[in-house]
Amino acid sequence: MSRGSRDVTQGILKSSMRDNYSEHGVEEYYRKVGGTYRNPHFPGVRSVLFYWFTRLWTMEEDRLKCSTMKVFDMACGEAGEATIALVEWWKAGRSVYDAPHSPMLTASHSRKAAALTPPSLGPELQRPRIYAADPYTAEALQSRTGLYNCSTLSFKDVAEGSLPTVALSTVSTSTPNDTTTDAIETVDSTLEMTLCSFALHLVESQSELFSLLWELSTKCRWLIVVAPHKRPEIKEGWGWVKWDVESWEETQMSDSKGEILQDRVHCRVYRSVNIHGEDPLAEGSEGGS
């Protein structure tokens, strides 16, 4: 198989995303590769998200174990790597709980290395309930993960108040006469976080980005932006404060302290200013608002 054939099979027309966007345009590019796209940066994405999930659990375990963690994978078009990372982290944590003397627990000694090792997750933390949306690559998510019900909502749709109404599941809502609808759950309360991997920079208009982020800040506690660079710039007054994941406190928007960097993949964490302590999911939080 030629290099060109391999690239098409993997859903990447050219090795440079800048060239792809320039030649085809963002929307047309993802229309062409939507069913086959694979993010070559997935190992780094997985690492930074594992680190974040572990820090969040370490700092806010008491709150998180009281309810099902609800997560929105926005623009999951990188074939669902954020969803895959979260499910893998949860499964690995359950494995640690089931086998407490596993070598995984003693393999790392540094703080950062330890954070990449999932903590012991007992039965009180149920499998996260994940909602996903992408206007182009729902097919890729289903193909790679076996999960159905990925919404086709766009950034514009979310900015206007829409969210996926049905969580990802091994059961398709379009399956006729299905008798296992109890496995399908709808969003009915505050989301714990929105994950956006390698996509938020595609919102080019500042006004559109503000509308999107402000709307999200009224519906979820955390915004997690994963990218190979530090774009886009998120400004004060847009509904979020930047969060230092090491000190577990607010930091300046322009400060890179407390960001996560693994394998050239950046992870920036923001906390909503609109989700307050009286929210049901905030009870018992160690981090505060």
- Residues 90-142: pLDDT tens digits? 999 999 888 865 555 444 445 556 667 889 999 989 999 999 999 888 877 88
| Residues 25 and 159 reside in one and the same domain | no
| Residues 58 and 157 reside in one and the same domain | yes
Q: In whole angstroms, what is the distance from residue 208 CA to residue 229 CA?
A: 20
Cα dihedral across residues 122, 114, 62, 257: positive or negative: negative
| Residues 10 and 81 reside in one and the same domain | no
Q: Write out the residue range of the structural domain in which residue 231 sits.
A: 37-282
- The C-alpha angle with vertex 8 and arms to 83 and 203, in degrees rounded to 5, equals 50
Overall domain count for the chain: 2
Q: Is 288 contained in some domain?
A: no
Q: Is 168 contained in some domain?
A: yes
Segment 177-201, tens digit of pLDDT: 343 444 556 666 789 999 999 999 9
DSSP letters, 48-104, are HHHHHHHHHHHHHHHHHTTS--EEEEET-TTTTHHHHHHHHHHHHHHHHHHSTT-GG
- Residue 107: Cβ within 10 Å count: 10
Mapped onto helix, strand or coil, the DSSP state of residue 6 is helix
What is the pTM (predicted TM-score) of this model? Answer: 0.80
| Residues 29 and 76 reside in one and the same domain | no
| Residues 232 and 139 reside in one and the same domain | yes
| Residues 141 and 184 reside in one and the same domain | yes
| Residues 226 and 193 reside in one and the same domain | yes
